[in-house]
Chain A
Amino acid sequence: MTEVSSYSPSRLRGLWALTNRELKKWYKAPLIFFLSIIQPIIWMGLLGKAMNLSALVPANIPGLDVGAVMKASLGTSDYFSFMAVGMIGMTALFTTMFSGMSVVWDRRLGFLNKVLSTPVSRGVIIFSKVLSATLRSMFQAGIIIVIAFAFGLQFGAGFSLLNLLGVFGILFLLCVGLSSAFIAITIRSTRMETPMAVMNLISLPMMFASNAMVPSKLMPDWLQPVVHVNPLSYANDAVRQLLIFDAIDYTQLAMDFAYVGIFAVIVASIGIILSWRFLRK
C-alpha cells in the first residue's frame, strides 16, 4: 500500500509537454498563426515604410550627403533597416505580454488547478509559459527578418550566419526576461482587468522609451536615463550591430549581452520564486 507509482515525473518531460500545449494553440490554429505573422508585417509597412525618415531630408540640397547624415545618427544609411530591427523588439514585447495573460486564463479555466494537483514542479509550470512565449517570439523574429529582407533590409558588411545566431541568442534572453516579468505581474491575479491595465500602462511607453524607432542620442535629455535602463534598448542595439551595421563595436555588444542576460536571470528567478510562493495558497 505504501509503494509509490512506478514512474517518476521528469522536469524536462513536464516542461516540454506544457510548452507544447501552449504552442499547439498557436500553430494548430491557422488563423492565429497567420495573424501572428501578419502583425509584424503590418507594423513594418506602417512604421518602416510610411514613416520614412530619409525622405524628410531633401535630397537636392547641394553639398548634403543624405546617406552620411543617416549613417551618422542611425548607424545605417537606411531607415527601413533600422526600423525593421525595432519591430523585432516590439513583437517580442507584445508576444511575451500574452504569456502573462495566459496564466490568468489557466487559473480561470481550472487548468492551473489540475496541473497543480500533479507532481510536476511549480517552477516548471511557470517556465513553460516563458519558454513558449520565447519560442513564439523567436519564430516571429525569423519571419520579420526574412520579410524585411524581401522589402529591402540591408545586412551589414560583416554579416554571417554566426551573427544570426547571436541575434537569436539575445532575443532568447530578452524574451525570457520580459515574459517572466509579465508573469510575475499576473501570477496572483484572478481577473483579467488588473494585469491588462498594468501591461498596457508599461508596454507602449517601454517601447517608445527605447531606441526601437529613434536612436537614443536623438531623444531629449530627461528621457535618456529611461532609455538607458530599458533592456529593450540593449537588445535592439545588439540586433542592429549583428544584423545591419557594417562595423561591430564589440565592447558595446558584450555590454548588451551582459545587460540583457542579467536582466533575464534576475527576472526569471523572481518569477520562479513567486511561483513557489503563490501557486499554492
Chain B
Amino acid sequence: MSDDVIKTEGLTKIFNKHLAAVDHVNFEVRNGEIFGFLGPNGAGKTTTINMLITILRPTAGKATVLGRDIVKEDSEVRSVIGVVPQEYTADEDLTGLENIFLCADMYGIPRKVAKERAEELLKLVELTDFGNKKVQTYSGGMRRRLELACGLINRPKVLFLDEPTLGLDVQTRTATWSYIRRLKQEYGMTLFMTTHYLEEADALCDRVAIIDHGKIVVIGSPEELKRSLGGDVITLGIKEDADVSEIIRGAKHVKDVKKENGAYRIKAEFGEITAPSIIEVLRQKGYTVTRLSLTEPTLNEVYLEYTGKSLRDSEESRENVMIQRMTVRRARQ
C-alpha cells in the first residue's frame, strides 16, 4: 500500500447546480504528516473536509482515506477518523465528560476504556477540573479544547481539524499548537487541518495547500513555497495619486510590481539594496515615498501571491463570519 493516508482525484462539490465550492481538487496527504489547507473565506476548505469525513457526498471525483473510499466505504472511514469541526458541536446541556462519553458510545468504546481515555484527554486539553461542569458554562476556548478531546476519543489514525484555533487567544492558540504537535509525535497521527493563521501553518504544517475559489493553487512545504517566491517583498506607499508601477519596474533587481489598496507590493532580489534605489528613482521623478516596509518572504507573502488577497481583509470578514456563526448557525441545505 502506498504511503498516502488521504488521496483525492478530481474531488468536486457543486452546490445548487452551479456553485463549484470545491473544483477538481487533487492532493495526497502522507502518513504521519500535518497537512494544512490554507485559503480565504469561502475557498472550499470546510466543504473539502466535510466530503472527506463523509458527511457531504461529492458531486464528482473520488477520494480515499486510509485506502477506503469515502463514498462506498463511508462507515469504515468514519470509524478510523477523528473530527474537530469548525463549529462548536458539543451538547450544551450535558457536561464535558458526558459529551466525551457520548462520543465514545458512538464508536462502541467500552465505558471502562472510555473512562481511562477521557481522563487522559481531559488532562491533555487541561479541562480536568471542568469535566463535570455543563458545557454551557465553558468559555469559547474551553469548548474548542473539548471538541479536540471528543475528536480524539477513538484514537483516530487521521484527525481532521477545521480551524482548530479560530477565536482563541494567543496563549490558548500556542497551547493548542503544542497539543497538535504532541498528537503527531506521541500517537503517530496524521493530521489534516485548515487554518487562516499563516504563522500557524508555517509553524505546524509539514506541507500546505493553498486553496482559492475551490481550486488548489499551490502545494508544498512552507519552505518550498517561500523559496518559490524568489526574493524579498518591498511594500511602499507614495504621497501622490499617480500610478508609478512602471517607474518602479524600471529599477534594478525589481522582478514584479503589484498595486494593492493604494500600496505597491514589489518583489525584488536583494531587498535592502533595492529599496533605497527605488526611493531614489521615485524621488527623481518627483514622487515622495511616505511609507516603506521590507519583508523576507513568509507564508503570508506566499498567500498574498497566490490568492491576491490581503490577509487583513480576510481577517476582518473572518471575525464577522465568526460572530454570525456563534449567534445564528449557518443553515445548511
Contact = CB atoms under 8 A, between A and B. Distances in A.
B91 interface: yes
Contact of B87 (A16, A110, A119, A120): A110
Interface in B89-113: 89-94, 98, 101-103, 105-110, 113
- Report whether over half of chain A's contact residues are helix, strand or loop; otherwise say mixed: loop
A60 interface: no
Interface stretch (A21-29, A64-72, A78-86, A226-234): A21-29
Interface in A103-136: 107-111, 113-121
Interface in B22-60: 31, 50, 53-57
A28 B218 CA distance: 52
Nearest to B111: A13
B332 interface: yes
Interface stretch (B75-83, B226-234, B266-274, B313-321): B75-83
Contact of A5 (B56, B93, B105, B155): B155
A31 interface: no
B107 A117 contact: no
Given A21-B94, A190-B331, A281-B333, A14 B105 contact: yes
Given A10-B108, A21-B91, A113 B75 contact: no
- Chain B CB within 10 A, most for which of A4, A5, A9, A118: A118
Nearest to A120: B106
Contacts of A18: 102
A110 B105 contact: no
Given A4-B76, A10-B108, A29-B93, 6 more contacts: A8-B79, A108-B329, A110-B89, A113-B50, A117-B78, A118-B154
A8 B107 CA distance: 6
Contacts of A8: 79, 108
Given A119-B78, A190-B333, A281-B56, A111 B91 contact: yes
Interface of B is mostly: loop
Interface residues of A, number: 36
Find the residue from A4, A117, A120, A281 having the highest chain B CB count within 10 A: A117
B1 interface: yes
Nearest to A8: B108
A121 B89 contact: no
Given A2-B1, A113-B85, A113-B89, A118 B107 contact: yes
A178 to B, nearest CB: 24
A2 B66 contact: yes
Contact of B107 (A5, A25, A109): A5
A5 B107 CA distance: 9
B106 A17 contact: yes
A25 B331 contact: no
Contacts of B66: 1-2
A7 interface: yes
B306 interface: no
B157 interface: yes
Nearest to A191: B331
A129 B5 CA distance: 35
Given A108-B331, A190-B333, A280-B56, A117 B108 contact: no
B88 interface: yes
Query: Which of A5, A109, A114, A190 has most B Cβ within 10 Å?
Result: A114
Nearest to A124: B106
Contact of A117 (B81, B88, B101): B81
A8 B78 CA distance: 11
List 3 tightest A-B contacts by C-beta distance, closest first: A17-B105, A190-B331, A118-B106
A113 B56 CA distance: 10
